[in-house]
Structure 1
Amino acid sequence: MPTVCLVGPSDSGKTTLMESLVDTLGAHGTVATIKSIHHDIEPDTPGKDTYRHREAGADTVVGLTPSLAFQITPGGKAAAPSEMALLEQTVESLTADGYDFVLIEGFHDSPYPKIEVGERDDTEPPIVASGTVDTIDIEAVATSIADGTLFEGVE
């Protein structure tokens, strides 16, 4: 499955590019995104039922609303054998769920192909495209992800 990372320094426009790319790539199939978060956040509302289920010791809590479904499972990066192992497991899970494309924000040191927004001096190859949020042609990148040409020559 086509998987690509959007990498770059803080405030370089990665999220803005992600929003445009998700919107455009959505015309070609289903898109899942993964975001590397470097600090703990609380994705659930303290005191609400799903939070209370989790605090009571549930291994996984699934919330189903009229318009959204979400799953909270303890562990995260700290509990995984490695950050890369968790990323690969997550990509495999999304693939198994039937998504056509996975876009990852962050993980500049992963083995996945990368679109570099701005410049970093520590991005691991392969870099398949680069530029700024204003110079990257979203339509062209989305089309080349969808038809696979963005990944030609990438192992």
Structure 2
Amino acid sequence: MSQDARLRAVCLAGPSDAGKTSLVEELVERLATDGRVATVKSIHHDIEIDTPGSDTHRHRTAGAETVVGITPTLTFDITTRGKRDPPEPDGDALFESDDPEGRALASTLERLARRGYDTVLVEGFAESPLPTILVGTRAPAAVGGPIVGRGEDPVEDLVETIRSLDGLEGVTDDRSSDDPDD
């Protein structure tokens, strides 16, 4: 990524059933016309996302830390390190965090930036220092980042706000290099 094309990330914070997921859907649709968009969803309880008994589930339960599944139309990876045991960021942390949830988010954003994503919409992780769109009745004091919009703002205004955000410092896209020998 060039200096002016660093990963932009924004958090959508609000209570359950406030409309965060619906807003994420609208934002993704519009932002995807500009470049690659990824989403991160904070889930507060354990769920099984892999079918018990499937080959990928068997690989993971046998002890693989990461399992990658490739189908004719989808590629997915499942890594055993969640919020309770997040990996440490590879380089300079995108933001400092003393709690495992914050480290998990920082590490995830690093990986997405290195994969060449332009924008990440983060649903949840309200305590992160990311620019935040408040959805519903969440109190401004309950979020860790600067408030850059509200869920009731027109979607096009929110899209323009996200497009205008400075990219995150401290991580680069591994696919690009100024060194012609790479």
TM over 0.5: same fold?
yes
Query: Which runs of no fewer than 5 residues in structure 1 stay unpaired?
Result: none
Residue in structure 2 matched with residue 105 of structure 1 by the alignment: 123
Partner of 1:26: 32
Out of 85, 90, 108, the residue aligned to residue 103 of structure 2 is 85
Taking the aligned partners of 1:33 and 1:100, their CA distance within structure 2 comes to 11
What secondary structure is seen at the aligned counterpart in 1 of 2:83? Answer: helix
Aligned partner of 2:53: which letter? G
1:95 and 2:101 matched:
no
Q: Deviations over 1:43-62 (max 9, x none)?
A: 10001110011111112111
Q: CA deviation at 1:140?
A: 2.1
Matches within 5 A, 1:6-155: 6-80=12-86, 82-121=100-139, 122-131=142-151, 135-146=152-163, 148=164, 150=165
| Structure 2 counterpart SS, 1:76 | coil
Cα distance in structure 2, aligned partners of 1:42 and 1:125: 31
Greater Cα shift, 119-128 or 9-18: 119-128
Q: Amino acid of the residue matched to residue 144 of structure 1? A: T
Number of residue-to-residue matches in the alignment: 146
CA RMSD of aligned residues (A): 1.3
1:67 and 1:5 map into 2 onto residues whose CA distance is 28
Larger displacement relative to structure 2 (102-111 or 73-82): 73-82
The answer on whether the counterparts of 2:133 and 2:148 sit within 8 Å (CA) in structure 1 is yes
User: How far apart, CA to CA, are the structure 1 residues paired with 2:25 and 2:35?
Assistant: 15
Q: Structure 2 length as normaliser, TM-score?
A: 0.76
Return the offset for 1:141: 1.4
TM-score by length of 1: 0.89
Consecutive aligned runs of 4 or more in structure 1 exceeding 6 Å deviation: none
% identical equivalent positions: 53
Contiguous gaps of at least 5 residues in structure 2? 1-6, 87-98, 167-182
Q: Which protein has the bigger helix share? A: 1
